[in-house]
Amino acid sequence: MTLSPAARVTLGLGFTQIVGWGTTYLMPSVLGRHLQDDLGISSELVFAGITVMFGVNAICSPRVGKVVDRIGARGLMAAGSVIYALALVGVSMSRGAPSYLACWAVMGIASTLALSNPASIALVQVAGPRSRQAIAMLTIIGGLASTLFWPLTGVLEPAIGWRFTLLLYAAIHLCACLPIHLLILPRRPPVHPPAANTSAGGGGVAPGDLGRVYLLLSISLAFGAFVFTGVQLQMIEMLRGLGHPPAQALMLASMIGPAQVSVRAFELAFGHRYSIMRSAVFGSAMLPIGLGVALLAGDLFVGALFVVVTYGMSNGLKAVQRATLPLALFGRSQFGAYMGRLALPQGIVSAVSPPVMAAVLSKFGTPAALWLTFSVAMVSLVAMILLARLSRAVR
Ordered by where they begin, the domains of the chain are 5-184 (1.20.1250.20), 207-390 (1.20.1250.20)
Find, among 334, 382, 194, 200, the residue nearest to 390 by Cα. Answer: 382
Reduced to 3 states, what is the DSSP secondary structure of residue 392? coil
Cβ burial 199-238 (10 Å sphere, 16+ → b, else e): bebbbbbeeeebeebbebbbbbbbbbbbbbbbbbbbbbbb
Find, among 43, 132, 152, 57, the residue nearest to 346 by Cα. Answer: 57
Letter for the amino acid at 201?
Answer: G
Helices and strands per DSSP (H, E), number in the chain: 16, 0
The DSSP 8-state label assigned to residue 3 in this structure reads P
pLDDT, position 200: 40
Q: What is the pTM of this model?
A: 0.83
pLDDT, position 259: 87
* Whether the Cβ atoms of residue 45 and residue 326 lie closer than 8 Å to each other: no
Residue 64 to residue 51: CA distance in whole angstroms? 20
Q: Give the DSSP letter string of 70-134.
A: HH-SHHHHHHHHHHHHHHHHHHHH--SHHHHHHHHHHHHHHHHHHSSHHHHHHHHHHHGGGHHHH
The DSSP 8-state label assigned to residue 287 in this structure reads H
Reduced to 3 states, what is the DSSP secondary structure of residue 150? helix
Residue 374 to residue 292: CA distance in whole angstroms? 7
Residue 66 to residue 343: CA distance in whole angstroms? 12
pLDDT tens profile 248-257: 888 888 788 7
Reduced to 3 states, what is the DSSP secondary structure of residue 179? helix
pLDDT, position 192: 60
Find, among 138, 132, 129, the residue nearest to 184 by Cα. Answer: 138
Letter for the amino acid at 294?
Answer: A
Question: CA torsion, points 287, 292, 295, 301, in degrees to nearest 10?
Answer: -70
Q: Give the DSSP letter string of 261-279.
A: HHHHHHHHHHGGGS-HHHH
pLDDT, position 247: 85
Query: Per residue of the chain (395 residues), what is the pLDDT tens digit?
Result: 578 888 999 999 999 999 999 999 889 888 988 999 999 998 888 888 988 999 999 999 988 988 998 898 999 999 999 999 999 999 999 999 999 999 999 999 999 999 988 999 999 889 887 887 888 889 888 888 877 888 899 999 999 999 999 999 999 999 999 999 999 999 887 766 555 444 444 566 777 788 899 999 999 999 999 998 888 778 888 898 999 998 888 888 878 878 888 888 888 888 777 888 888 999 999 999 999 999 999 899 999 999 999 998 998 888 888 888 888 888 877 788 888 899 899 989 988 888 888 889 888 999 999 999 999 999 999 999 999 988 776 66
Start-to-end C-alpha separation, the chain: 33
Residue 189 falls in which region: left (phi positive, over 0), alpha (psi -120 to 50) or beta: beta
Residue 19 to residue 22: CA distance in whole angstroms? 5
